Structure 1
Amino acid sequence: MNLTPISRKRLSESAISQIKDFIIHNGLRPGAKLPSERELCSKLQISRASLREAVRILEIMGLVEVLPGKGIYVKDLTGDLFVPLPTWVSDYRDTIHKHFEARLILEPEIAALAARRSSPADIDKIKANIELQNSLPESEIAAIIQADIDFHCLLAEAAQNETLLMLLNSIARMSFHGWKAALRTESRNKTAVQEHFDLLQRLVEHDEDGARTMMREHMLGSIKMLEQQGLAPKS
């Protein structure tokens, strides 16, 4: 099978489908390297931004792994979103703990800065993201995870601190496991969306202390839900 130009409206969704089919039909096994980013963009005739969005979703699904400076590699033909949660988390327990530990340090202060500095345009972007999250069915796990990552990165943008944004983007890029674990627990997405909405209200009111406290509670809520199911170590 060869890759062909994409003409459908949602370019990233089409790219995801084609890359998955390319892996399967060419018999690529875990560890196999995919064509370069430049070659994929050329073959699919899409922008680098659309390709990177598609690859990020494939990473979330556990189908590919991006190794900085090396390329995109096949990780698992089935993807880890389909592995039972307790089985999957047992392999990533320590990683998940460190993921939330880092976010507990960073994100409450990011939220406080966002409450102080967010512009009307920032508020509109965050509101649109929450509306998207609220519209996604529970079965769309990869899309839910991506929308949640986008929410937290939009907060970092609203904080207007490029270093904090870089750090959060690095966590999002290199450690999907915490996001996967939290949002794969039953009903967590609905709870998270409500918490996101409540946090947005603190930004609208420029309530720094309220935003800081709410973000910390938001992080601790995810950790508590995992601990209740025996899926994460207690701090």
Structure 2
Amino acid sequence: MPFQPIQPEKLSTAVTRQIEQLILRGILRPGERLPSERELSDRLGVSRPSLREAIADLEAKGLLTAKAGAGVFVADVLGSAFAPALVQLFASHDEAVFDYLSFRRDMEGLAAERAARLGSDTDLRVIQTVFDKMVAAHAKRDPSDEAALDAEFHLSIIEASHNVVMLHMMRSMYQLLREGVFYNRQIMFRQRLTRDMLLEQHERINTALQAREATAARAAVESHLDFVETALRDNAKAARNEAVALQRFEHEQNRKP
């Protein structure tokens, strides 16, 4: 018979598994500091030696990292998703920008569809909360907060899709975006008219999600990212035209009658 004796589980193993699950599900994020040893042992209901053993195990696995005098942090597990040479290749070729947007369009459209179908009511409340913050930030003259919340809004949809592979891959992609590897996100928020249009697009996405209209949510995300692609292409063309215009201007200034 294929039965094996039940082995009692060490407390440290249970702690390790719980923290692993929190990292896997994206609840604990890269760079996030864990509570103090005393607080964490109290929350988990385990002794400090058991907690230390679990943390040492997670450090050995590369999931946690200890910083002297600062505490224990979730390791930057996303940093290994793309090799540095590939990141540099992305940054030096414009075509990567539009391949990136195409990839996002496909993945985030699917994520929105899944979120509408599979997301819990609490997932949708998280998305609504982030959108409400976007609306508040939209009133500010400085677009920095709104641009940051834009990323949070999209990631909250991916989280609500409940696919951990998609979640970690897309977080890695967004980290590259934050670092300016693909394009400067602030470009999209410089003009008030464009900011207004982006907010309207996010509102359509949110409305479809809150109504659990999966097809409409996917279509709204795809339409939004089509707009982003067109805007970036127009911006690149305008930059090229301006460079030519500057050459003409300098030449005209120096040309003798």
TM-score w.r.t. the length of structure 2 is 0.53
Per the alignment, residue 109 of structure 2 pairs with 108
Per the alignment, residue 79 of structure 1 pairs with none
Per the alignment, residue 192 of structure 1 pairs with 198
Trace 1:121-132 onto structure 2 (pairs within 5 A): 121-132=122-133
Trace 1:125-140 onto structure 2 (pairs within 5 A): 125-136=126-137, 137-140=140-143
Q: CA deviation at 1:185?
A: 4.4
- List runs of 5+ in structure 2 lacking aligned partners: 1-64, 82-90, 239-257
Query: Are the counterparts in 1 of residues 177 and 185 from structure 2 also a CA contact under 8 Å?
Result: no
Trace 1:12-161 onto structure 2 (pairs within 5 A): 38-39=66-67, 42=69, 48=73, 68=80, 93-136=94-137, 137-141=140-144, 143-161=145-163
1:146-181 residue CA offsets vs partner (Å, 9 max, x unmatched): 211111111011111111111211111123334616
- Separation in 2, partners of 1:212, 1:156: 12
Q: 1:213 aligns with which of 219, 226, 239?
A: 219
Q: CA deviation at 1:231?
A: 5.0
Q: CA deviation at 1:215?
A: 0.7
Per the alignment, residue 87 of structure 1 pairs with none
- Separation in 1, partners of 2:186, 2:101: 11
1:28-86 residue CA offsets vs partner (Å, 9 max, x unmatched): xxxxxxxxx854x83xx58747xx8xxxxxxxxxxxxx9659xxxxxxxxxxxxxxxxx
| Equivalent residue letter for 1:214 | A
- Separation in 2, partners of 1:146, 1:210: 25
Q: CA deviation at 1:145?
A: 2.8
Please tell me whether Structure 1 or Structure 2 has the larger radius of gyration of its CA atoms. 2
| Equivalent residue letter for 2:100 | H
- List runs of 5+ in structure 1 lacking aligned partners: 1-36, 53-65, 70-89
SS at match of 1:230: helix
Greater RCO (CA < 8 Å, at least 6 residues apart): 1
Q: How many residues were matched structurally?
A: 158
Give identity over the alignment, percent: 15
TM-score w.r.t. the length of structure 1 is 0.57
1:110-149 residue CA offsets vs partner (Å, 9 max, x unmatched): 11111111211111111111111122224142x3332111
Q: Over aligned residue pairs, what C-alpha RMSD do you find?
A: 3.1
